[in-house]
C-alpha cells in the first residue's frame, strides 16, 4: 500500500466516523469576529486613502510654491563683449 493510499484511507475513516458536536456559541462568535475584521479592514482602507489624498495635496502645494519645473536663475553673468 502506497503512502497516498494509506492517507486517503485514514481520511475516509475520519470522515465516515461520528462527527463532533459544535459548540453552542460558535456561530455568534464567528459573526462578531468577522464583523470586527471587516470594520478593521474598512478603517485601514479609509486611513490609507486619507494618507494618499493628504500626500497628493501636500505635493501639489509644494509644487505650486517652489515651481520645480522653472530653471533657476544663473549665478554667473555672461561674458562682457564689445568693450
pLDDT band of residue 1 (cuts 50, 70, 90) is: low
pLDDT at residue 55 in the model: 98
What's phi and psi for 67, nearest 5 deg? 45, 70
pLDDT in tens, 16-57: 888 888 899 999 999 999 999 999 999 999 999 999 999 999
Full 3-state SS string of 2-54: CHHHHHHHHHHHHHHCCCCCCCCCHHHHHHHHHHHHHHHHHHHHHHHHHHHHH
pLDDT at residue 83 in the model: 66
pTM: 0.60
Amino acid at each position: 500500500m502506497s503512502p497516498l493510499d494509506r492517507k486517503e484511507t485514514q481520511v475516509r475513516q475520519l470522515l465516515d466516523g461520528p462527527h463532533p458536536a459544535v459548540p453552542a456559541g460558535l456561530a455568534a462568535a464567528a459573526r462578531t469576529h468577522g464583523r470586527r475584521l471587516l470594520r478593521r479592514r474598512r478603517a485601514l482602507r479609509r486611513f490609507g486613502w486619507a494618507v494618499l489624498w493628504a500626500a497628493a495635496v501636500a505635493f501639489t502645494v509644494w509644487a505650486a510654491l517652489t515651481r520645480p519645473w522653472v530653471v533657476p536663475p544663473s549665478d554667473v553673468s555672461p561674458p562682457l563683449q564689445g568693450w
